[in-house]
Structure 1
């Protein structure tokens, strides 16, 4: 039962509303207004460490543009880049993982979108100048708006977890948050997922949320007897 709770807890659909902003308000504002940008100023590159929320932001921006009637696409791997020319907005994730052909495809798409003033958002692990990609693509990525996704502080993560618990309607003691931050992967999607599973485990066990209950949830599933 515990393993099922951890494995099958669905993640919330990414949106700009459920992204914990922290010190990223300017970036959020830019994503909201990018479809309205003047021609030639509609590209945005975001970078940051793994788990900082880049994928959440790109998927959220894609959903936002779709809700505004734009034909938008989210891309995270090699694809037929020529077909993306027909889209009104495109978000490309993990640019550092693209092979040579995909880098050429993205370079060409960048030029097409820039000339048409269409939104193109790209995310990568490093700042443009530090990316290990083609020099011409690296230059293009630095032409538009560039933002580093600022990681949340422990206090901001704590506030986000507490707010999430309040929304789900259960009491979350501070010592449970402290234990989570000390013993679980520290990116917010993982923390939120464990918290949701803990809420379900609490209801199943008919016990309040405590550090002891969290420890039970995090114990590895017992191996079957050989």
Structure 2
């Protein structure tokens, strides 16, 4: 077959697999984009994957679906071979990979990198030192893992940020001259395996790139173009999940590497305690630094909380520089981009010097995939595979919830509890609507109407009501009108005909406007932020 025929067959396979029962189409779109058909004949096809991780995951979870689709299309059984193409791995902007598993298979094993960062003793850099000579790498085999080490502790996605202690402004920042006798860092490898892994992270258009970069860092930590890796997005979108997934993947597959995960509030606590104990215990400050500087991979969550904490930022900057200059990996997360964090420009520049990727609020398809994932998780944990939740209820939860995944999960949990322990195994959509009436912070609302949305949009974009429902077609007015129609559809689930009447338009104009905004949202980050802000204004009003 020529290349055009092979591509056509693969496109048909992808389309057919998305129609199979139990398959979430958005997950196939995201996942199969990492596979590339190379050769095919009757009864045989060879595909290449971007990484070993992708190859293993496909073979464990989707290979039978691919074979089934090929046999249905061509009428003969197929042998499917998947190889890894290393030239594809090098692309930093590759789309994401594995989707949510349909079962709970053992995690795939990826090859460990060929070398680990050196453990040479060096004087700590000053905050202004942006680079240092990189020591020669040593074999990973020379680093022996702790005999008692097991993968890391769970970090619930909904964990709250502990209260931050105040920094003491007159603390002396003594720099130890050498670290030869520093105590070994406290290892995160001594606690149970976390449930936050790449395997159970649901991917979609909103988080695909961040997910892809996180898996790339986990498979080969320390590569310059992704060091540091900075992931940002609003609360509840999966940043902590990705950081913990990196930690768990490395602990599982490269146990000789030291991984340290810290929430920024924990980092602040550690520094405050070390500084306070400095007068009575001279080694406290040195041990604090060693616990971070000895890491091969340092993961710091919610760095925006370090705003205004100058001393902690200074010491983190020193640790950051030392690790990255020695080729050791740093991963940071925040609820906003580095440029929007209120810190000195030098910190913003360094935080932004590697790979910076955002996670956007999930689209309906991704939220529906998350609902299905939570239900599977419950079935597996409780050994109750016969439990089911009607499709219309799953869709209602996905459409009604806000972008916060924690809110989505709690809604699913509430319905499951009512069905299993509340004597309502046959709940209807009407029952669920009543149960969750006051649960969601966004989504449909009985109190909200089209006039409320029009008023909010008019104020936000500085247009009058006469203009937004009138015949003028200037760009600014048309944009405001289309956004208002889109929000009526999203927040009120109004029929297109009803939306059109509210704006003195017909059904087709309302449909066109909503479709136009949905298309723009996929590419226009500023528009996404504006609509998020508008939704917040509408909810608060």
Q: Identify whether the pair has TM-score above 0.5, normalized to the shorter chain.
A: yes
TM-score, normalisation: structure 2? 0.36
Q: Aligned equivalents of 1:73 and 1:217: distance in 2?
A: 42
2:244 to 46, 56, 59: 59
Deviations 1:135-159 (A, max 9, x none): 2111101100111113210222123
For 1:175 and 1:115, locate their aligned partners in 2 and report how far apart those are by CA, in whole Å. Answer: 53
The alignment partner of 1:15 has SS state of: coil
What is the aligned partner in structure 2 of residue 86 from structure 1?
294
Indicate the SS of the match to 2:343.
coil
SS in 2 for 1:152: coil
Question: What secondary structure sits across from 1:205 in the alignment?
Answer: coil
Label 1:27 to 1:186 Cα distance change in 2 as closer, same or farther (>3 A): closer
Cα distance in 2 for partners of 1:219, 1:63 equals 37
Choose 1 or 2 for highest CA Rg: 2
Q: Is the 8 A contact 1:199 1:209 kept in 2?
A: no
Residue 57 of structure 1: SS of its match in structure 2?
Answer: helix
- 2:328 — aligned with what? 118
The 5-angstrom pairing of residues 189-200 of structure 1 reads 189-200=406-417
Shift of 1:208: 2.4
For the structure 1 residues 163 and 33, does the alpha-carbon distance in structure 2 shift closer, same or farther, using more than 3 Å as the test? closer
Partner of 1:165: 375
Residue 209 of structure 1 deviates from its aligned partner by: 3.9
2:394 aligned partner: 177
Of 314, 319, 323, which residue of structure 2 is paired with 1:104? 314
Q: Secondary structure at the match of 1:51?
A: coil
Distance change (3 Å), C-alpha of 1:85 and 1:201: same
Of stretches 99-108 and 158-167 in structure 1, the one that deviates more from structure 2 is 158-167
CA contact (8 A) 2:202 2:369 kept: no
Pair 209,63 (structure 1): closer, same or farther in 2 beyond 3 Å: farther
For 2:258 and 2:204, locate their aligned partners in 1 and report how far apart those are by CA, in whole Å: 30
Match of 2:216?
Answer: 33
1:76-115 deviation digits (Å, cap 9, x = unpaired) = 1113461200111111111111122221122112101111
Task: State the partner residue of 1:72.
Answer: 259
Question: What is the CA distance between 1:71 and its match in structure 2?
Answer: 1.5
Count of equivalent residues: 211
1:155 aligned to 2:328? no
Runs of 4 or more consecutive aligned structure 1 residues displaced over 4 Å after TM superposition: 181-185, 215-220
Moved more, 202-211 or 65-74: 202-211
Q: Please say which of residues 42-51 and 200-209 is displaced more in the overlay.
A: 200-209
Structure 2: distance between partners of 1:156 and 1:197: 20
Q: CA deviation at 1:29?
A: 2.8
Q: How far, CA to CA, are the matches of 2:399 and 2:237 in structure 1?
A: 18
- Between Structure 1 and Structure 2, the one with more helix by share is 1
Stretch deviating more after TM superposition (96-105 or 156-165): 156-165
More divergent stretch after superposition (101-110 vs 43-52): 101-110
Moved more, 67-76 or 173-182: 173-182
Unpaired segments of 5 or more residues in structure 1? 1-9, 221-226
* Cα distance change, pair 15–89 in 1 and its aligned pair in 2 (3 A): same
Note if contact 1:48-1:149 (Cα within 8 Å) is conserved in structure 2: yes
TM-score by length of 1: 0.80
**Is 1:127 the counterpart of 2:337 in the alignment?**
yes
1:13 aligned residue: 195
CA distance in 1, matches of 2:223, 2:325: 7
**Of 334, 342, 353, which residue of structure 2 is paired with 1:143?**
353
1:101 alignment partner, SS class: helix
Q: Specify which structure has the bigger relative contact order, considering alpha-carbon pairs within 8 angstroms and separated by 6 or more residues.
A: 1
Deviations 1:40-69 (A, max 9, x none): 443100111222111111122122222221
